[in-house]
Amino acid sequence: RGGALAELPHKHDLDYKRVLGANCEIVVGYIPIPVGMAGPITLNGESVYIPMATTEGCLVASTNRGCKAITQGSGAVSSILRDGITRAPCVRLPSAKEASEVFLWVERPENFQKLKEVFESTTSFGKLLGARPTVAGKNVYIRLRCFAGDAMGMNMISKGSLAVIECLRQVFPNISLVALSGNMCTDKKAAAINWIEGRGKSVVIEATIPKGVVRSTLKTS
């Protein structure tokens, strides 16, 4: 409706120079979200707090109660099993035989080093950790596993993935890029390959809450 943006905050509090060209396009304002603080929770022997941006009533309170119960017990212990975000370009060759040749080329350790070098030439932080090809007819899906530091890193990794494709094109001139994301990453949806191989940080975490704490803090049995 007309005037819907009239009351949208847009002055003083937001540094547009940090946003334009980086976080958002065609910026017209911003929406503030309340931030609550849950904790402390004892994690790996350290007391930490958890900031939570939300408009859902009772969410911070219930999380805080859970943090209290865990801390009153033995605290939580966590381990990171894997740390690697993925992007899986899909490329097509004129024949299945040529697709299999790409598969075998990528599988060789010395060739992976070439892909790693071109990938990492595009970023100061990203590291290419692995490249797993899968052939489906004339198509090859190359699942690139990458370290992105503290960032989620998809833009960073997509740029590096394009460099990988260009490197492959020098060896296989007939290769064509079908999609930068061939849906084997797999992004924004449940997928068996993510469960088996991981995507992002794969974490195991454990906590024991004594019976008395369940009764006194969680008010249940």
Helix residue ranges, H only, 31-180: 59-72, 96-107, 109-120, 154-171
Residue 64, SS3? helix
pLDDT of 5: 62
Q: pLDDT per position in the chain (221 positions), as tens? A: 456 667 665 566 677 777 877 778 888 877 888 889 999 999 999 999 999 999 999 999 999 999 999 999 999 999 999 999 999 999 999 999 999 999 999 999 999 999 999 999 999 999 999 999 999 999 999 999 999 988 888 989 999 999 999 999 999 999 999 999 999 999 888 899 998 998 999 999 999 999 999 999 999 99
How far, CA to CA in Å, does 66 sit from each of 28, 36, 42?
Answer: 39, 15, 11
| Element containing residue 22 per DSSP (H, E) | none
pLDDT of 13: 67
pLDDT of 30: 78
pLDDT of 4: 61
Residue 98: exposure state from Cβ atoms within 10 A (0-12, 13-18, ≥19):
middle
CB 29 within 8 A of CB 7: no
- Quote the tokens at residue 110: 């010395």
141: β partners: 90, 134
pTM for the model stands at 0.78
Nearest Cα to Cα of residue 74 among 168, 165, 175, 205: 205
pLDDT of 12: 60
